[in-house]
């Protein structure tokens, strides 16, 4: 049986409560065609924290990310990113989708340069980002000849090159095979440990959430119905009893077998 002690809320290690939060929402709601998909949501992410959001399809996870980066406007309530109230696209956030969305007529490097700050170091920023994801030697190739995992690495490099304080991951690994997915999870964790950017990961994969996140939120019907800090040391042992117990406990809540 799952261990209830693993579901207790504990302070997130490595976060500074005196620093302005990376993300804060207040009474955030979003309506589409008369249907309320987010219900008065109060949500926050601390600086340097990696938060995973899990839940069934249609629960409002992706809508939350689009509101946080400014791609959608709230029906009511507000979003702050980096201490700034959003009125349009956030200059602090970068969103990475399940589809790498690379421009096929531009080289790998040119795709990454598009996201780099508009200064004299754009080429260098793109090259450094590609180095971080292990693709610097593919910089002048076309996206069409890359594998799915490599294209997602380019998308991740593009997010890194933007030098954003907040990275938003919307099921970025959902279309990858199991082995490539594990490799990309390890890459995301390594880059997060090196850079300590703030991040929100939306995923259907509870094991992925437990492996990567400092804190996990469960959404259902446009509301956060449960949250827990993941108090497991890194790197996380997926075969350990503690890892398995926490994963099973969260799955039971998603499936409605646990209140």
State pLDDT tens for residues 78-99: 999 988 999 888 888 999 988 8
Task: Tell me the three state secondary structure of residue 131.
Answer: helix
Measured distance CA(74)–CA(29) in Å, rounded = 6
Q: What is the pLDDT of residue 73?
A: 95
| Cα end-to-end span (Å), the chain | 15
Question: What is the per-residue pLDDT across 65-80, written as a single tens digit (0 to 9) for each?
Answer: 999 999 999 999 999 9
Measured distance CA(225)–CA(218) in Å, rounded: 6
Task: Locate all alpha helices (DSSP H) within 29-76, ordered by sequence.
Answer: 61-69
Average pLDDT of the segment spanning 36-44: 93
pTM, two decimal places = 0.89
H helix intervals, 196-240: 206-212
Distance CA 54, CA 227 (A): 10
* Residue spans of alpha helices (H) in the chain: 61-69, 108-113, 122-132, 148-161, 178-195, 206-212, 241-254
CB 196 within 8 A of CB 48: yes
Q: How confident is the model at residue 55 (pLDDT cuts 50, 70, 90)?
A: very high
CB atoms within 10 A of CB 170: 21
Please state, in angstroms and rounded to a whole number, the distance separating the CA atoms of residues 14 and 63: 28
pLDDT tens string 115-165: 988 776 899 999 999 999 999 999 999 999 999 999 999 999 999 999 889
* 201-213 residues labelled b (16+ CB within 10 A) or e (exposed): bbbebbbbbbbbb
For CA atoms 162, 167, 171, 173, give the dihedral sign: positive
């Amino acid at each position: 049986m799952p261990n209830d002690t693993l579901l207790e809320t504990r302070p997130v290690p490595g976060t500074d409560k005196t620093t302005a939060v990376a993300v804060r929402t207040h009474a955030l709601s979003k309506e589409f065609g008369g249907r309320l998909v987010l219900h008065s949501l109060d949500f926050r992410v601390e600086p340097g924290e990696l938060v995973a959001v899990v839940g069934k399809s249609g629960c409002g996870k992706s809508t939350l990310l689009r509101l946080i980066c400014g791609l959608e406007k709230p029906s009511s309530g507000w979003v702050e990113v980096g201490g700034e109230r959003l009125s349009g696209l956030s200059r602090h956030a970068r969103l990475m989708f399940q589809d790498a969305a690379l421009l096929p007529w531009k080289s790998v490097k040119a795709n990454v340069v598009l996201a780099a700050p508009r200064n004299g170091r754009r080429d260098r920023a793109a090259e450094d980002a590609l180095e971080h994801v292990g693709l610097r030697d593919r910089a002048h190739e076309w996206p069409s000849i890359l594998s799915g995992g490599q294209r997602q690495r380019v998308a991740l490099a593009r997010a890194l090159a933007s030098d954003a304080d907040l990275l938003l991951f919307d099921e970025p690994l959902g279309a990858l095979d199991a082995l490539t997915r594990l490799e990309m999870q390890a890459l995301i964790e390594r880059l997060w440990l090196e850079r300590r950017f703030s991040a929100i990961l939306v995923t259907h994969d509870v094991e992925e959430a437990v492996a990567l996140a400092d804190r996990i939120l469960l959404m259902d019907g446009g509301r956060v119905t449960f949250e827990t800090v993941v108090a497991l040391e890194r790197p996380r042992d997926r075969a350990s009893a503690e890892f398995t117990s926490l994963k099973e406990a969260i799955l039971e809540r998603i499936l409605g077998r646990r209140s």
